[in-house]
Each structure stands twice: as C-alpha cells, then as structure tokens.
Amino acid sequence: MSRTATAELMGLAFDAVPMDAAVARCLDLCRAPRSSHTVITANAAHLCMMRRDPELARACKESHLTLADGMSVVWALRASGQRIPERVTGVDLMARLLAVAGKQGLRVYFLGARIEVVTALVNGTKAQYPDIEIVGFRDGYFDADAHLGIVEHIRAAKPDILFVGMPSPFKETWCERHRQRLDVPIIIGVGGSFDVLAGFIKRAPQALQSMGLEWLWRLLMEPRRLCKRYVMNNSEFVWRAGREIVARRWGRSPPPMVQSE
C-alpha cells in the first residue's frame, strides 16, 4: 500500500482519508503478503505528549496509517489550510473492522482492558458477528516480565488484526517496539474502545461528538482521573496548534517541533 500523507500538524503527518478509505486500506494490508503494520488514531493529547516522549513520537511517525481522531485536530488542520475529510476515531474504526472481519475471513485478537471488560467484548462480538474468528484475548494488566510471552502468544495465534485497548503512550510504544516480532498485518491501538464497545462506558451523544466536545463528556464521566490531563493537554494544544495555523496562513514554515526537557 502506498502512503500518501497529505496533512501535517505539530510534527505528525496524517493520512487525509475518510472512514471508508481507512477501512479499505486496513483490509488491503490484511490481504497483502504478511507483514506487520501499525495504525495510529491520533488526537490532541498525542500531539502534545509527542514533544515530551521521543519514543512515542517515533512510534507515531513510524505508523503506516495515521488518522485524525479528535475534532480539535480536524479543525486545526482545516484552519491551517489543509484538507482533511473527516474525523476517524479508533472506536469507530474498530467497530467497522469487526463488522467486516468475519465476511473477509480475518482473524482477530483483543489485548487490553480489565478481564471482565475484554471477556464481555469477546462474548458480545461473537453474538453480534457469529462468523467472526477470535483467535485470542487477554487483559491489559501485566508487568514487563510478561511482555515477550504475550508477544509470542499473539504471534503463534496468527491474527490478522490485533486491537490493543490500553492507554497512551504505552500502547503506541509497545506496539511499535514489538511490531516486527508480532507479525500481525494490522496492529491498532484503540485506547478505551473496549470499554465502550463492551458497554461498560457510555459514549457521548452524537451531538456532542459533532461539536468536538466528546472530551468534555469523558471528563464529566471521570473528573478525578482526567481533569488535570485534559486541562494541561488542551491548553498546550490550543497554544501550539494556534501558532502553527497562523504560520501556515501567512505562508511561513510551522514552528519547529522541539522536544521538551
């Protein structure tokens, strides 16, 4: 699959494709000669964390398909004069791929979340799509000593798609660090999507999603855990993305992506 990234923000190149095209690219990678590829759905928090985390920045930049997850990213790209057709979220991409996996004969593995969440996700997916082949799953609570064993277990199961439902930046760096050994055509980090699709967390109403306020809904659901992170990341994103928008609009080079100490 040829990579044609046509939009860039805060040092990260995005594939400017709609959902249908993103799904089609994933399916193309699954049909191609077997090789590992990562898919990143990046939001404002990713772009801010990349400045402070060189390994995360490297993992995001090595992605084979990078999608704009977050209306703030979509708006910033558009405001800077770049074309981006729509927001493509990890949870929506995951749902679309699950819907076609069985029909396409693709094997699926789930890694992440609490055991009760991933078990409910597996059972719910099998009930909804009886023809899907789920070749394995496990929760996302393991220490460093277990990493290689998990990689070997996934490799032996030979899935075509590996969904990783763990937080950033761990999921991106873990997937890139083990990408070659995993030997999975599509490795995609989907964060809290397991909880949403398994019914443990209610997603924001469509109206809030369209307004770019899904982050506010999540903040209201988990204020203690998310308040500090959202305030810091959102403030930083507005400042840095705003500088880049102005620079691009005036025909100047974007501010350099300098790593924080």
The number of folded domains in the chain is 1
Q: What is the 3-state secondary structure (H, E, C) of 206-251?
A: HHHHHCCCHHHHHHHHCHHHHHHHHHHHHHHHHHHHHHHHHHHHCC
- Residue 205: CB atoms within 10 Å: 12
Predicted local distance difference test score (pLDDT) of residue 203: 83
Rounded Cα distance, 158 and 137, in Å: 12
Predicted local distance difference test score (pLDDT) of residue 209: 76
Q: How distant, in Å, are the alpha carbons of 34, 199, 248 from that of 39?
A: 16, 24, 27
Chunked into runs of 10 residues, the chain (261 residues) has average pLDDT values of 72 95 97 96 94 95 95 94 94 98 97 98 97 97 96 98 96 97 98 95 80 71 68 84 89 62 41
**In this structure, is residue 48 part of a structural domain?**
yes
**In this structure, is residue 170 part of a structural domain?**
yes
Rounded Cα distance, 118 and 252, in Å: 47
Phi-psi label, residue 13: left if phi above 0, alpha if psi -120 to 50, beta otherwise: beta
**In this structure, is residue 169 part of a structural domain?**
yes
Looking up tokens 């990349």 gives 50
Predicted local distance difference test score (pLDDT) of residue 256: 62
Predicted local distance difference test score (pLDDT) of residue 3: 53
- The structure tokens listed for 15 are 């594939």
**In this structure, is residue 97 part of a structural domain?**
yes
Which of these, 173, 165, 151, lies nearest to 59 by C-alpha position? 173
Predicted local distance difference test score (pLDDT) of residue 10: 94
**CATH number for the domain including 77?**
3.40.50
Enclosing domain of residue 55: 12-206
**In this structure, is residue 5 part of a structural domain?**
no
Q: How distant, in Å, are the alpha carbons of 13, 127, 152, 249, 259 from that of 60?
A: 9, 34, 23, 25, 15
**In this structure, is residue 246 part of a structural domain?**
no
Q: Cβ neighbours of residue 5 under 8 Å, at least 6 residues apart?
A: 13, 14, 15, 16, 66
Preceding peptide of 169 cis, ω within 30°: yes
Which of these, 35, 44, 17, 15, lies nearest to 213 by C-alpha position? 44
Predicted local distance difference test score (pLDDT) of residue 123: 98
**In this structure, is residue 243 part of a structural domain?**
no
**In this structure, is residue 89 part of a structural domain?**
yes
Is the distance from CB of 57 to CB of 27 less than 8 angstroms?
no
Predicted local distance difference test score (pLDDT) of residue 261: 41
Is the distance from CB of 108 to CB of 132 less than 8 angstroms?
yes
